[in-house]
C-alpha cells in the first residue's frame, strides 16, 4: 500500500468500534479455552492461571487485531468506480467499476449507531452474493457515498438508454 493518492482512512471513532467488536469476538473464545484448561489440566493450580491467561490474552489479542484492521483500511471513489483496501500482511484491494455497481445499501448496527458509523454495502453485477462491505464509515460520509454511487448508477443507466 505505497500509493495512497485519493485513498481515505476510516474516521478515528471507528477505531473504538473495531477494538470492541474484535475484542469481544476473541473474548468469546476464552470460555471454551477456560473449559479446555479445566478439563485437560489435572489440578486446579495450573488450570486457574491457564484459564485466567485465556480470559485476558484472547480479548487483548482481539483488541490488537481490531486496531490493525482499522489502521490499514482505506476506501476510494473516483471516476472509475469504488475501491476498498485492507490489511498489511495479507493485503486485499477490491475495485468495483462504476458500470458494475447494481445498488448500494447502508447498514447501522447498534454499536455503529452509538458511534455514528455505518457499513456501506456496494452490490455488484454478477453472482447473487457479490458485494463489497466497508464497515466503520462515518454515518454522514456513508450516506454521501451511497448517494454519489447511486447517482453514478443513474447516469450510467441514462447513458445506456440513449445508445
Per residue in 91-104, pLDDT (tens digit) is: 999 998 888 888 89
pLDDT at position 35 is 80
Per residue in 119-149, pLDDT (tens digit) is: 999 998 776 668 899 999 999 999 999 999 8
- Contacts for 34 with CB less than 8 Å, ≥ 6 apart: 51, 54, 55
Start-to-end CA span in the chain (Å)? 39
What does the alpha-carbon distance between residue 119 and residue 113 come to, in Å, rounded to a whole number?
Answer: 10
Predicted TM-score (pTM) of the model is: 0.79
pLDDT at position 155 is 67
Q: Nearest 5°: phi and psi at 50?
A: -65, -40
Q: Nearest 5°: phi and psi at 47?
A: -70, -40
Q: Is the pLDDT of residue 1 over 50?
A: no
Q: CB pairs under 8 A, 24+ apart, for 139-142? A: 139/108, 139/112, 140/116, 141/11, 142/106, 142/117, 142/118
Average pLDDT, the chain: 86
Q: Which helix (H) or strand (E) holds 93?
A: strand 92-97
Amino acid at each position: 500500500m505505497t500509493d495512497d493518492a485519493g485513498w481515505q482512512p476510516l474516521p478515528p471513532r471507528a477505531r473504538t468500534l473495531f477494538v470492541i467488536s474484535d475484542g469481544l469476538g476473541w473474548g468469546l473464545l476464552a470460555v471454551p479455552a477456560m473449559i479446555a484448561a479445566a478439563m485437560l489440566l489435572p489440578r486446579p493450580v495450573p488450570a486457574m492461571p491457564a484459564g485466567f491467561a485465556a480470559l485476558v490474552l484472547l480479548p487483548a489479542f482481539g483488541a490488537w487485531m481490531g486496531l490493525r484492521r482499522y489502521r490499514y483500511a482505506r476506501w476510494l471513489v473516483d471516476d472509475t468506480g469504488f475501491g476498498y483496501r485492507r490489511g498489511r500482511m495479507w493485503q486485499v484491494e477490491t475495485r468495483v467499476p462504476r458500470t458494475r455497481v447494481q445498488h448500494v445499501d447502508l447498514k447501522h448496527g447498534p454499536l455503529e449507531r452509538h458511534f455514528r458509523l455505518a457499513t456501506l454495502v456496494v452490490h455488484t453485477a454478477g453472482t447473487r452474493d457479490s458485494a463489497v462491505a466497508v464497515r466503520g464509515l462515518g454515518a454522514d460520509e456513508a450516506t454521501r457515498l451511497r448517494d454519489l454511487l447511486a447517482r453514478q448508477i443513474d447516469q450510467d443507466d441514462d447513458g445506456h438508454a440513449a445508445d
